[in-house]
Amino acid sequence: MKPHVIDVDLVEDGQKQKHAVPRNIQNPMFVGDTVKYQSRDGLVTVEFKELDLSPAHSLLHSPFADSSGKEITVITSANGALPLTNKGIFFCRCFITPPGQPAAARIGWTPNSPGSGGNHDVR
């Protein structure tokens, strides 16, 4: 079992748009490893909702499940380290809510900002 810490940073592009970009997703990861998301820019929210229909993709949406086996599709940096429980390739959307801002002010994934996300390859 290996602990993974994924840093998510606010990155500004040439058009002054901000994106929540994960810097260091270490693939492959393995069932039993733990993953923690963090950012110096605010509260991180990671959503696993979209299916990638490539042959290696899991039929599940998330690499995480609770003790009853129910998928966990929304994780925040406040959750701490969570164990990987499901095998497959999972796409996540990343968001950061700056300190002191409401959840509605979060910055991150949109169809125009697909870099605010990444793949988790769990074996």
28-39, pLDDT tens digit by residue?
999 999 999 999
| Of the listed ranges 20-24, 53-57, 71-75, 79-83, the one predicted with least confidence | 53-57
Higher pLDDT, 106 or 111: 106
Average pLDDT, the chain: 90
Please, are residues 34 and 82 in contact by the beta-carbon 8 Å criterion?
Answer: yes
- Tell me the one-letter amino acid at 68: S
pLDDT, position 2: 94
Q: Give which of 98, 89, 96, 91 is closest to 114, Cα–Cα.
A: 91
What number is the average pLDDT over the span 44-54? Answer: 76
